[in-house]
């Protein structure tokens, strides 16, 4: 029920209770017998007598000071003799007929049913209006409007991305001072397309532009234009632009515009399907207003390659602003924003966390901070410590630990040598990222994990680095082959990574002499950051690609086996330390490798005499994110 209806019902109930309990404030009444009443009547003790014809109740007020009200009930009819005594007593006689309360006896019974009937018909009418309104307003825009009266988002709320802010500042200047641009004949772009991977804050940046400019911000998603009725999308586009024109200066933001801006001609029904009609209407509306009107279109997508060319031509979305994954300084600023209102320990260094999280978007960093807070609560901590961030990193990247999983000693030993092979290759190779942590605790879907720490952000990959990543991926398989004389299914994920890297070296990066400087993957990425597979070459070239890929893999396996065979002592030490402690830090791996090189006989020493400290689940002193995490899994 609405609030006003509850208040109305409460008021009616209280009024009825007050009327029912009315009569307060009168003198207290004492009930006496009819005989006693007659005796005292004869004695002349009453100054006033009230008689009710309906209830036969008699109320007699005494002459005492203070007066006392006595109550009794007569016979059905008072005898004539008693009535004569009434008159003879000298008391005031007040006959009374019980007609009841006018409101409760007359008005309420009349209007209460009428009121319920009126409320019922009002409720039916309201439902019909809502249903008809839903049908009639199906073509209206679903955009949410954020006016300047609400607390707005500004560029100060957007951490990092200084380059993006500089590029988009002129849109803010135009909305604030349109005359300055008009005086010299400058034309501001009608549409700004924000392009970037998911979670990089494209919507937040668009809202910050509206907050900085102090203009209304109309936000809508591309899917809001589509309905089951034909023509609804086009109608909503018209209504959206009509509302924006009423506001004067405004920003129209369309999130995930690729849902309606896909290239035309590929849908069912040729150029007459609902999506294409919506896109045609949007193109017409963008041509229908001038840049001097003060309306700026902004849109966001992570799939710019599938947008219709007419949408990107000059005069429409003619400016593209790339919102990339945050760099080191940007990640630090984003972490500062998300940790501002959280209780942080003094041992947390956000610069170290930012350095160890390359490739994470703003949404990923926000989730990382939240997971760290959850781990702090689970561990009974009053603050978020560096250890909490380390646990959160492992949870986000590789999953939760499955310590309850039961494995045989033989399987544990094979897993230990498998992970030791990965760790030894990563530590011994020249350009590979240093080892951060090695564990044989089942994590996620993996039986063991080897994590490496990047020393900084990377934007390209040298051929030597690509080859050494393949060697590191094949380290577990070759370690099993050297120690046990056979391989297992635990290297399935390693082979997938190595094969993918070798194939990209051949088809995309021109690192094969047989293929030469030729790109055999013409299509751009479907999603930013994810490569697409294409087949625009002959069967002979495909066979050559397979040959070159296999050649690279076989060569890298040979180099990997040679490296492990040369450092067999270090392999044994790392594997034994893993069997004893389950988790070994990168610094400990380096110490064991140095120990094996300086003392070849150490490979035969029992684990307890190596003075190897027990590594924590996090491993190491610094928080980091792996540039490559090997996962040994079952097939």
The pLDDT tens digits for 304-316 are 888 888 888 877 7
Report, in angstroms and rounded to the nearest whole number, the Rg of the chain calculated over CA atoms: 43
Give the pLDDT score at 358: 80
The pLDDT tens digits for 354-405 are 877 888 888 888 888 898 899 889 888 888 888 888 888 878 777 776 666 6
More confident residue, 48 or 266: 48
Of the listed ranges 108-122, 450-464, 600-614, the least confidently predicted one is 600-614
Instruction: Calculate ∠ Cα 134-139-145, nearest 5°.
Output: 90
- Cis check: omega of the bond before 66, within 30 degrees of 0: yes
> Could you give phi then psi for residue 177, rounded to 5 degrees?
-130, 70
Band of pLDDT at residue 194, cut at 50, 70 and 90: confident
Give the pLDDT score at 470: 92
DSSP string, 75-101: -SS--HHHHHHHHHTTPEEEEE-----
The answer to whether residue 295 scores a pLDDT higher than 90 is no
Give the pLDDT score at 130: 59
Band of pLDDT at residue 635, cut at 50, 70 and 90: very low
Band of pLDDT at residue 408, cut at 50, 70 and 90: confident
Per-range mean pLDDT, top range of 53-57, 230-234, 535-539, 557-561: 557-561
Helix, coil or strand: residue 24: coil
Q: What is the 3-state secondary structure (H, E, C) of 381-400?
A: CCCECHHHHHHHHHHHHHCC
The answer to whether residue 76 scores a pLDDT higher than 90 is no
Per-range mean pLDDT, top range of 117-121, 243-247, 292-296, 334-338: 334-338
The answer to whether residue 132 scores a pLDDT higher than 70 is no
Domains within the chain, CATH numbers bracketed = 25-96 (3.30.720.210), 144-322 (3.40.50.300), 328-398 (1.10.8.60), 409-632 (1.20.58.760)
Q: Which residues contact 523 (CB under 8 A, 6 or more apart)?
A: 532, 533, 534
The answer to whether residue 631 scores a pLDDT higher than 60 is no
Residues 510, 518 contacting (CB under 8 angstroms): yes
Per-range mean pLDDT, top range of 47-56, 117-126, 192-201: 192-201
**Mean of the per-residue pLDDT values for the chain?**
75
Give the pLDDT score at 525: 47
Pairing of β 250-255 and β 448-452: unpaired
Band of pLDDT at residue 145, cut at 50, 70 and 90: low
The pLDDT tens digits for 609-629 are 344 333 333 333 333 334 434
The answer to whether residue 281 scores a pLDDT higher than 50 is yes
* Residue 419 annotated as catalytic: yes
Give the pLDDT score at 131: 53
Give the pLDDT score at 607: 42
Q: Which of 256, 413, 419, 468 is catalytic?
A: 419
Give the pLDDT score at 559: 92
The answer to whether residue 539 scores a pLDDT higher than 80 is yes
């Amino acid at each position: 029920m609405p609030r006003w209806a509850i208040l109305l019902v409460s008021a009616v109930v209280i009024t009825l209770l007050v009327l029912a309990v009315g009569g307060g404030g009168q003198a207290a009444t004492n009930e006496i017998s009819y005989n006693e009443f007659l005796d005292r009547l004869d004695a002349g003790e009453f100054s006033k007598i009230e008689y009710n014809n309906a209830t036969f109740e008699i109320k007699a007020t005494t002459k005492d000071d203070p007066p006392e009200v006595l109550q009794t009930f007569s016979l059905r009819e008072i005898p004539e003799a008693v009535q004569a005594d009434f008159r003879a007593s000298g008391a005031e006689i007040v006959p009374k007929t019980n007609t009841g309360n006018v409101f409760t006896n007359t008005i309420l019974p009349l209007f209460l049913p009428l009121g319920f009937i009126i409320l019922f018909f009002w409720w039916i009418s309201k439902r019909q209006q809502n249903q008809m309104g839903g049908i009639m307003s199906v073509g209206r825009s679903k955009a949410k409007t954020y006016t300047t009266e609400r607390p707005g988002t500004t560029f100060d709320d957007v951490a990092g991305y200084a380059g993006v802010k500089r590029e988009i500042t002129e849109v803010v200047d135009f909305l604030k001072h349109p005359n300055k641009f008009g005086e010299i004949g400058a034309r501001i772009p009608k549409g700004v397309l924000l392009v970037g991977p998911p979670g990089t804050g494209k919507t937040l940046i668009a809202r910050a532009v509206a907050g900085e400019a102090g203009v209304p911000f109309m936000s809508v998603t591309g899917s809001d234009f589509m309905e089951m009725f034909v023509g609804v999308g086009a109608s909503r586009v018209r209504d959206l632009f009509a509302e924006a024109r009423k506001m004067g200066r405004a920003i129209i933001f369309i999130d995930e515009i690729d849902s309606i801006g896909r290239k035309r001609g590929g849908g069912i029904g040729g150029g007459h399907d609902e999506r294409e009609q919506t896109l045609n209407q949007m193109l017409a509306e963008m041509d229908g207003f001038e840049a001097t009107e003060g309306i700026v279109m902004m849109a966001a997508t992570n799939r710019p390659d599938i947008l219709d060319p007419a949408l990107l031509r000059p005069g429409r979305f003619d400016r593209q602003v790339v919102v990339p994954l945050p760099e080191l300084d940007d990640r630090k600023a984003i972490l500062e924003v998300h940790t501002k209102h959280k209780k942080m320990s003094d041992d947390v260094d956000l610069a170290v966390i930012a350095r160890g999280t390359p490739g994470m978007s703003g949404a990923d960093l926000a989730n990382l901070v939240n997971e760290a807070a959850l781990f702090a609560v689970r561990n009974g901590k009053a603050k978020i410590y560096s250890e909490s961030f380390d646990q959160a990193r492992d949870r986000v990247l590789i999953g939760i630990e499955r310590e309850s999983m039961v494995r045989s000693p033989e399987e544990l030993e094979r897993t230990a040598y498998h992970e030791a092979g990965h760790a030894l290759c990563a530590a011994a190779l020249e350009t590979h990222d240093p080892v951060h942590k090695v564990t044989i605790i089942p994590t996620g879907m993996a039986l063991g994990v080897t994590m490496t720490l990047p020393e900084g952000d990377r934007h390209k990959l040298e051929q030597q680095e690509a080859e050494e990543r393949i060697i590191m991926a094949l380290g577990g398989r070759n370690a099993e082959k050297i120690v046990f004389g056979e391989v297992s299914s635990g290297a399935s994920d390693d082979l997938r990574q190595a094969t993918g890297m070798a194939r990209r070296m051949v088809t995309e990066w021109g690192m094969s002499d047989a293929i030469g400087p030729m790109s055999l993957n013409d299509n751009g990425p479907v999603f930013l950051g994810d490569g697409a597979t294409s087949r625009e070459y002959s069967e002979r070239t495909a066979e050559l690609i397979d040959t070159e890929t296999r050649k690279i893999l076989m060569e890298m396996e040979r180099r990997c086996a040679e490296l492990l065979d040369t450092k067999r002592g270090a392999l044994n030490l790392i594997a034994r330390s893993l069997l004893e402690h389950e988790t070994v830090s990168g610094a400990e791996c380096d110490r064991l490798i140095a120990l094996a090189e300086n003392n070849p006989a150490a490979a035969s020493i029992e684990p307890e005499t190596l003075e190897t400290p027990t590594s924590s689940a996090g491993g190491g002193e610094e928080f980091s994110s792996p540039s490559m995490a090997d996962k040994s899994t079952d097939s």
